[in-house]
Structure 1
């Protein structure tokens, strides 16, 4: 029996923590989280007791120390064994601080507590507004041009649409001529797309795990990509891994998938046909929606439980979407950017790919010349969302 290679040793790099003044992680704690609390407060008419709970959370995260969840909070036992309680929020690992912030936000809004606010997604107003945008109609109508493209161009267009799903100016903006979408999109710092397709084409059609990132317009191209994998027989089934509850503002849940399916099937033309196929794929067991508690855990995938490891191990390929999944995949650490992606993911139990727009400091697998050029550019290329990568370890 073989065992996966261990994750890279912790001493190879330091974990990302919040404390460095002026850092991206510090700006999330000092600016993004307080702004999010205010957005949530304005979006939904929460009663006074929930408003006060939001005030308490804001006070704790900006001026206090990390406090435990109340023992009566559902699921509190999963957070009891952590070592960060009593520390300042600025002194704990960034990944843990972010995850616990979102868990405490749900606790403040009684998401898990039986009563009138149980199960109310505090981020639903944001997700719904984005999905209802007229820009989404324009994006979906662009799918009508898809059948007129060469097969390889269709593959590349839909892969890059999934990669850049958070960029409304890219999305499904398909090529009408010989120049492909990939050649018109700057900022792709690693492109292992050929290896990705080869990994799917050299094996018998099997299971592909697609670990989703954001909901709304960003989830639509992920679903269209899943349809492409199924209709071209690159995959016999696609397992779409989702969050079991609202997380990180816009992370996709089962409810978000259903909303996207409704949005696609209500469109016209090729989009509606794709939507119908996706609905049939769900009902027929070829597109499987799956959640796991570890999807909301404040830990890297190197610590995944045995059942999740077995799920990924049985896949022809696991595709990790987005920035947070990338941080969890390679470890939220200050890796030298030239650290090989294969080394950082050596522990992973099967072939794995990352489709990621860069929105945080962590990155691996870049060529030395690429790093030098990006650093010399003066851009905040690691966090601006203007650069992206497709990385594969087979």
Structure 2
């Protein structure tokens, strides 16, 4: 296994000047004060994850000690560099936050570097018996093998009975909501529209998404995946739908080159999902077989890029990735992390137009995202007022979602 190559990229010269200036005016989200959402990730989620990883796999004493050291650093210490002997350490050498308290650095960077240090502690990139072992595989495998997934796959049998527009709507919202998607597959043609059954959709640009895909000859769609397991399954079914309905001539599924953020999808995870589909029955099995064939004939491309695990927003993407997105008829960004990287992990006013925050992006782009962090753009003032009037932590609870499109 090779270590990750250089992940940073310079901001492209043709970034829209106004959008760049606006982004610079917005302070980045930092880990911050006790009680903040970002700080709770550092103080609660990351220590709990270290313990969960430790319990899931029988690591030897030296790896256990490395986990202890990482826990001590993030809870009591300062940001330390990767060891010089760590494969790929040079890629992180020029980052500016070493020696600072974890609480004082940008949230996106801190999360990304935590996961990189976790993999280093477990010798994921170091030649030897632990090289290439996914520390999150026990969690992902258990979710994919669960009985709930059997129910979801059997519910696909209802899909062909829906009218075409309801199929479109069902599959898009299923991909959006991930493992909450079972609402969609339980609709029949005579029931109320899916939009009336799914609560919490605060922005819905789905019509613009479908209109863009219908314009001109079918092109290439880039789908930047988020989570593995039950949340990747509806992404794959949506991919099959785009191919079989002629909305896309090909789909490029962007995956993580190595384990990242607990459940982010890698190539191995995508293949496991294809096996889960083909091992089912009925419509799900047919979808799985079509997708396997699509991989074989090049209409479904599984792609990884080192920048997918970079601690930076997409406005710093390198030229080859920029060209990939520029040549797509549409790029679909899935999930919360990709959203933060797309608009910039900054304290945007929530009414900032999505088009303004993504003006730098080299082609049409859509975001399918459930809200699980503070960053959000593109809300109508009346929607923001209503949400802020509630007592629910709507920005972080995962109960609200959005479909945003910038053409």
User: How far is 1:225 from its partner?
Assistant: 0.3
Task: For residue 4 of structure 1, report the CA deviation from its aligned partner.
Answer: 4.8
Distance 1:137 1:33 in 2: 31
Residue 163 in structure 1 maps to residue 165 in structure 2: no
How far apart, in 2, do the equivalents of 1:371 and 1:73 lie?
A: 46
List gaps (5 residues or longer) in structure 1: none
1:5 to 9, 16, 26: 16
1:343-382 pair list within 5 angstroms: 343-382=356-395
Which of 326, 338, 350 is residue 325 of structure 1 equivalent to?
338
Among 94, 109, 127, which residue is 2:140 paired with? Answer: 127
2:316 pairs with 1:306: no
Aligned-residue offset at 1:176 = 5.0
Preserved CA contact (<8 Å) 1:175 1:181: no
Looking at structure 1, the residues matched to 160 and 183 of structure 2 have their Cα atoms a distance apart, in angstroms, of 18
CA distance in 2, matches of 1:95, 1:170: 32
Structure-1 residue corresponding to 2:71: 58
> Distance between the aligned counterparts of 1:76 and 1:34, measured in 2?
23
| Counterpart in the other structure of 2:211 | 198
Q: How does 1:196-235 map to 2 (within 5 A)?
A: 196-235=209-248
The structural deviation recorded for 1:20 is 2.0
CA distance in 2, matches of 1:41, 1:173: 39
Aligned Cα root-mean-square deviation (Å): 1.1
What is the TM-score when the length of structure 2 is the normalising length?
0.95
Q: Which residue number corresponds to residue 316 of structure 1?
A: 329
Conserved 8 A contact 2:79-2:99: yes
Tell me if the contact between 1:157 and 1:180 (Cα under 8 Å) persists in the aligned partners.
no
Q: How far did 1:169 drift?
A: 4.8
The gaps in structure 2 that reach 5 residues or longer are 1-12
Alpha-carbon distance between aligned partners in 2 of 1:157 and 1:113, rounded to the nearest angstrom: 44
Give CA-to-partner distance per residue, 1:176-221, whole Å, 9 cap, x none.
5231222101100000000000000012101000000000000000
1:171 is displaced (CA, Å) by: 6.1
Query: How far apart are 1:21 and its partner, in Å?
Result: 1.9
* Counterpart pick for 1:242 among 245, 255, 258: 255
Q: Give the equivalent residue in structure 1 for 2:91.
A: 78
- What TM-score comes out, normalization by structure 1 length? 0.98
Contact kept, 8 Å, 1:171 with 1:221, in 2: the verdict is no
State the aligned residue count.
393
Q: Deviations over 1:9-52 (max 9, x none)?
A: 24421100012221110000000000000000000000000000
What is the CA deviation profile of residues 82-122 of structure 1, one whole-angstrom value per residue up to 9, with x for unaligned ones?
11000000000000000000000000000000000000000
Q: Is the 8 A contact 1:65 1:86 kept in 2?
A: yes
Following superposition, the deviation at residue 167 of structure 1 comes to 1.9
Q: Deviations over 1:136-171 (max 9, x none)?
A: 010011110111100000000000000000326536
Q: Which residue does 1:143 correspond to in 2? A: 156
Does the residue aligned with 1:289 lie in a helix, a strand or coil?
Answer: strand
- The answer to whether the 8 A contact 1:140-1:172 is kept is no
Query: Segments of 4+ in structure 1 off by > 3 A?
Result: 168-176
